[in-house]
């Protein structure tokens, strides 16, 4: 059921820079997104559980970028982080829910604790962070949320059932929030990358070696061989799409799960 706007929009003063909060931004895709948004003029808040990594990313951006630390899968930690951000730079106008983890295991050997960890970090964190920033977006009558999902959130894969389930959930969350806040100047979209050239790709390749016999050339090569375009995705591929989705040019795009997959996923 679609809900109408219920709050009066208090638009930011003309010329005020928008604030972008990026989670999981110490390295990889998150760091690349933070860098791209900083280049576009956003005041970037770099959030990560890795304190030193978050600081390194922030120090490489415009001089007024800040770093905050939080376990974004923990409600109390997210509340503290949001309060700190609001006190220091104001309400986030943009939220990029990028924090995520992956692991591989045969399903019958998948421990309950590992299922819970993956779902908590990949899915629950996005619910918590969105809930923390949406009141401010509603007050200002403008907001952009981009949830980093995966093409494994559209088509399941063996040995990563828990990861796939979490990313399918991200897409469902994205669609629901897009519909609920569509009348309030807020868009919510997801990006679904295929295998991306980051530390997580190497981590997954190592874990797959313990789950299934490695194909000729090893798992890393096998991942890339599945991509019709013939290469892994680059963090910059995802960052460019994110930059568009948070811009005013994308104001009519909401509720979408956009593949960045080199044609690996076409639905």
What does the pLDDT look like over 188-246, one tens digit per residue? Answer: 999 999 999 998 888 898 888 877 887 878 888 889 999 999 999 999 999 999 999 99
Q: Is residue 1 part of a domain?
A: no
Q: Which of 152, 170, 150 is nearest to 161 (CA)?
A: 152
pTM of the shown model: 0.93
Q: Is residue 13 part of a domain?
A: no
For 182-201, write each residue's pLDDT tens digit: 999 999 999 999 999 998 88
Place of tokens 């905050």: 68
Q: How far apart are CA 96 and CA 130, in angstroms?
A: 9
Please enumerate in sequence order all residues whose Cβ is within 8 A of that of 196, keeping only pairs 6 or more positions apart, or say none: 28, 29, 232, 233, 234, 235, 237, 238
Q: Is residue 9 part of a domain?
A: no
Where in the sequence is the domain holding 220, given as residue range(s)?
A: 19-260
pLDDT of residue 212: 80
Give the tokens for residue 60.
């490489």
Q: Is residue 152 part of a domain?
A: yes
Q: Is residue 212 part of a domain?
A: yes
Q: How far apart are CA 132 and CA 126, in angstroms?
A: 10
Q: Are 261 and 227 in contact (CB under 8 A)?
A: yes
Annotation marks residue 42 as catalytic = no
Catalytic hit among 163, 168, 181, 219: 163
- Structurally, the chain folds into a number of domains equal to 1
Q: How far apart are CA 118 and CA 109, in angstroms?
A: 15
For 33-68, write each residue's pLDDT tens digit: 999 999 999 999 999 999 999 999 999 997 799 999
Domain CATH code at residue 62: 3.40.50.720
Give the tokens for residue 110.
């998948």
Give the tokens for residue 223.
């991942």
pLDDT of residue 4: 42
Lowest mean pLDDT among 34-48, 100-114, 115-129, 190-204: 190-204
pLDDT interval class at 8 (50, 70, 90): very low
DSSP strands (E only) in 98-168: 143-148
């Amino acid at each position: 059921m679609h809900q109408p706007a219920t709050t009066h929009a208090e638009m930011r003063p003309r010329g005020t820079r928008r604030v972008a909060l990026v989670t999981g931004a110490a390295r990889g895709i998150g760091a690349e997104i933070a860098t791209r948004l900083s280049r576009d003029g956003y005041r970037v808040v770099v959030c990560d559980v890795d304190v030193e990594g978050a600081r390194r990313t922030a120090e490489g951006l415009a001089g007024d970028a800040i770093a905050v630390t939080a376990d974004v899968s923990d409600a109390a930690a997210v509340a503290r982080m949001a309060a700190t951000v609001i006190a220091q730079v104001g309400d986030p106008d943009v939220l990029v829910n990028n924090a995520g983890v992956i692991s591989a295991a045969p399903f019958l050997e998948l421990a309950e604790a590992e299922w819970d960890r993956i779902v908590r970090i990949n899915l629950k964190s996005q619910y918590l962070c969105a809930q923390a920033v949406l009141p401010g977006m509603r007050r200002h009558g403008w907001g952009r949320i981009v949830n980093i999902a995966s093409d494994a959130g559209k088509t399941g894969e063996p040995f990563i059932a828990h990861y796939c389930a979490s990313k399918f959930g991200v897409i469902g969350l994205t669609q629901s929030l897009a519909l609920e806040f569509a009348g309030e100047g807020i868009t919510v979209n997801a990006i679904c990358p295929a295998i991306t050239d980051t530390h997580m790709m190497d981590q997954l390749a190592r874990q797959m070696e313990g789950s299934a016999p490695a194909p000729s050339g090893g798992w890393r090569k096998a991942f890339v061989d599945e991509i019709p375009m013939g290469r892994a995705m680059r963090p910059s591929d995802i960052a460019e799409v994110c930059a568009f989705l948070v811009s005013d040019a994308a104001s009519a795009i909401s509720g979408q799960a956009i593949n960045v997959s080199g044609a690996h996923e076409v639905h």
